């Protein structure tokens, strides 16, 4: 292939397909070329930037013919940031693309013929994220900076106006970094593992307006003589007085060399160490370590869709696997006889129990554990017989033991909520012998990014 395609060669190509991350795909002598930012139907002058065994990467030099779906990006850092990889495409087209991605996977993998439904989009797909995780760093002039990591790197793009992040988290980050610069606070260095400030995480209750700030710090080498120790009280006071929305500030200790943002230890500095938010008519307590869906507007649509389509019955036994702080189970509780929730993070289960109380729900039981073991125990040893199982796993999907357990216990309905259509379809393939796939609906939880969320409803085949 090296003889056919070489780095730095220029071509004019037609973009014949769209990849999963918004990249265009062209072919030269049947070899696929992946071209970031190119759109299906466009004619582009490109240069080959990398040649691999069976494919290559190209870069646009000029768009000779534009797609009607191309839009001018409204973001100052779009080209460098790894956040919105679909920002150059009209929102309506991104929704179609997400549906097509799922449809293609379904067609390739499943025996059943399923027509994936239209993606449920947002009316105003802006400023929708309720959680920001800003890394601290040092800019080329040697000053502290805060922002977002550039695409596929750990170079920090200083914070500007982000179109998908909520506005208050951006203002809090700007106040924080100005203070860090003025007081010369010690910023963590990933290579030397020295310095203190690693990340600022801001979580916002969209309905409640309550804000939680988490300062992730490295205390491996002690902090006693640092500027951080000397001035942090002043920083916290400044944030509290400038932003009355801040209900709590937490220091999280992370002394490990890792890309995982939060460490294991939290110290509450101000407030109660958690915030509340509302989804539809329900109130939820959210702690620093607990998962909470990042787009609350779409979360409500997703949960309502899942519950309506599952046609829950008053005598249903509902298992909410990977339940987080119990949100789906609590939405479902009034429609069913009993809800069991299983989640691996203990703090999330503590929140889930309190959330059931706050919402005056008495028919829930939340348990800490790995779904693989705990669901197994529930059905094999405790002889619980769920009639509806709802799964909402992380990106890697469901483990084989749990799939086998679902097949064995035969709930009438399975609700599969997924943030990764590839693993979802893999898992559906293992269930489809016993289950009819009634519907697959993408819900746009992450507008302008290539992430795709889906809800699938399965019904036990009556043989
Ligand atoms: C995509 S989130 C869904 C949470 C919740 N259903 C919601 O809508 O907010 C996945 C959850 O699964 C939990 N989790 C990950 N692996 C797990 C496992 N093996 N067993 C139990 N829970 C797990 C995570 O901590 C996280 O809370």
Per-residue pLDDT of the chain (463 residues; tens, 9 = 90+): 445 789 999 999 999 998 877 899 999 999 999 999 999 999 999 999 999 999 999 999 999 999 999 998 888 887 788 788 899 999 999 999 999 999 999 999 999 999 999 999 999 999 999 999 999 999 989 999 999 888 778 888 888 889 999 999 999 999 999 999 999 999 999 899 999 999 999 999 999 999 999 999 999 888 888 999 999 999 999 999 999 999 999 999 999 999 999 999 999 999 999 999 999 999 999 999 999 999 999 999 999 999 999 999 999 999 999 999 999 999 999 999 999 999 999 999 999 999 999 999 999 999 999 999 999 999 999 999 999 999 999 999 999 999 999 999 999 999 999 999 999 999 999 999 999 999 999 999 999 999 999 999 999 998 7
Nearest to 294 by CA among 332, 330, 324: 324
CA-proximal residue: ligand 1, atom 27 (nearest)? 324
Helical pair 421-431 and 91-109, crossing angle rounded to 10 deg: 30
Instruction: Please check whether residues 274 and 163 belong to one and the same domain.
Output: yes
Structural domain contains residue 59: yes
pTM: 0.94
CB 338 within 8 A of CB 309: no
* Pocket flag, ligand 1, residue 371 (CB < 6 Å): yes
Instruction: Please check whether residues 374 and 320 belong to one and the same domain.
Output: yes
CA count, 13 A, side-chain hemisphere, 298: 29
CB 39 within 8 A of CB 24: yes
Instruction: Please check whether residues 47 and 135 belong to one and the same domain.
Output: no
Which CATH number covers residue 56? 2.40.50.140
Domain count, the chain: 3
Token pair, residue 314, equals 């008053």
Instruction: Please check whether residues 192 and 330 belong to one and the same domain.
Output: no
Which atom of ligand 1 is least distant from the CA of 399? 19
* Pocket flag, ligand 1, residue 373 (CB < 6 Å): no
Q: Name the active-site residue from 162, 213, 319, 419.
A: 419
Instruction: Please check whether residues 264 and 305 belong to one and the same domain.
Output: no
Q: Which domain holds residue 44?
A: 10-65
For residue 313, CA distances in Å to 241, 335, 337 come to: 49, 6, 8
Q: How far is CA 265 from the centre of its chain?
A: 23
* Pocket flag, ligand 1, residue 329 (CB < 6 Å): no
Is 49 exposed, middle or buried, given 0-12, 13-18 or 19+ CB atoms closer than 10 A?
Answer: middle
Structural domain contains residue 100: yes
Gyration radius (Cα) of the chain, Å? 24
Q: How far is the CA of 19 from the centre of ligand 1 (A)?
A: 28
* Pocket flag, ligand 1, residue 328 (CB < 6 Å): yes
Instruction: Please check whether residues 119 and 135 belong to one and the same domain.
Output: no
Active site residue 419: yes
Which CATH number covers residue 142? 2.40.50.1070
Instruction: Please check whether residues 139 and 113 belong to one and the same domain.
Output: no
Q: Which of 251, 279, 307 is the last residue of a domain?
A: 279
């Amino acid at each position: 292939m090296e003889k056919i395609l070489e780095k730095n060669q220029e071509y004019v190509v037609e973009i014949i397909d769209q990849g999963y991350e918004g990249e265009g795909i062209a072919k030269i002598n049947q070899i696929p070329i992946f071209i970031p930012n190119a759109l299906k139907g466009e004619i582009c002058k490109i240069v080959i930037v990398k040649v691999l065994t069976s494919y290559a990467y190209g870069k646009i030099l000029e768009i000779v013919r534009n797609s009607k779906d191309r839009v001018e990006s409204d973001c100052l850092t779009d080209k460098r940031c790894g956040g919105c990889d679909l920002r150059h495409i009209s929102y309506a087209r991104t929704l179609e693309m997400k549906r097509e991605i799922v449809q293609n996977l379904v067609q390739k993998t499943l025996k059943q013929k399923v027509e994936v439904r239209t993606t449920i989009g947002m009316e105003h797909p802006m400023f929708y994220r309720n959680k920001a995780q800003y890394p601290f760093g040092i800019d080329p002039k040697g000053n502290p900076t805060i922002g977002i990591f550039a695409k596929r790197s750990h170079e920090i793009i200083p914070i500007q106006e982000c179109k998908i992040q909520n506005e208050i988290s951006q203002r809090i980050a700007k106040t924080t970094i100005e203070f860090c610069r003025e007081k010369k606070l010690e910023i963590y260095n990933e290579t030397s593992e020295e310095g203190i400030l690693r990340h600022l995480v801001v979580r916002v209750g969209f309905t409640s307006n309550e804000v939680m700030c988490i300062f992730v710090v490295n205390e491996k080498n002690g902090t006693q003589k640092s500027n951080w120790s000397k001035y942090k009280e002043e920083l916290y006071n400044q944030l509290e007085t400038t932003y009355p929305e801040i209900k709590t500030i937490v220091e999280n200790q992370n002394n490990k060399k890792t890309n995982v943002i939060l460490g294991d230890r939290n110290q509450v500095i101000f407030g109660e160490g958690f915030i509340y938010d509302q989804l539809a008519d329900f109130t939820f307590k959210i702690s620093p370590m607990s998962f909470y869906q990042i787009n609350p507007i779409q979360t409500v649509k997703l949960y309502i869709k899942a519950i309506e389509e599952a046609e829950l019955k008053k005598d249903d036994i509902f298992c909410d696997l990977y339940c987080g702080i119990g949100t789906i189970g609590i939405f479902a509780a009034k429609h069913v006889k009993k809800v069991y929730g299983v989640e691996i993070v203990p703090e999330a289960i503590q929140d889930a129990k309190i959330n059931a109380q706050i919402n005056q729900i008495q028919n829930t039981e939340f348990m800490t554990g790995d779904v693989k073991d705990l669901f197994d125990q529930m059905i094999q040893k405790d002889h619980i017989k769920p009639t509806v199982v709802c799964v909402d796993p992380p990106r890697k999907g469901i483990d084989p033991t749990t799939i086998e357990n679902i097949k064995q216990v035969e709930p009438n309905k399975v609700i599969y909520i997924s943030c990764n259509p590839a693993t979802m379809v893999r898992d559906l393939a293992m269930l489809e012998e016993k289950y009819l796939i009634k519907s697959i609906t993408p819900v746009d939880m992450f507008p302008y990014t290539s992430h795709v969320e889906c809800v699938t409803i399965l019904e036990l085949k009556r043989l």
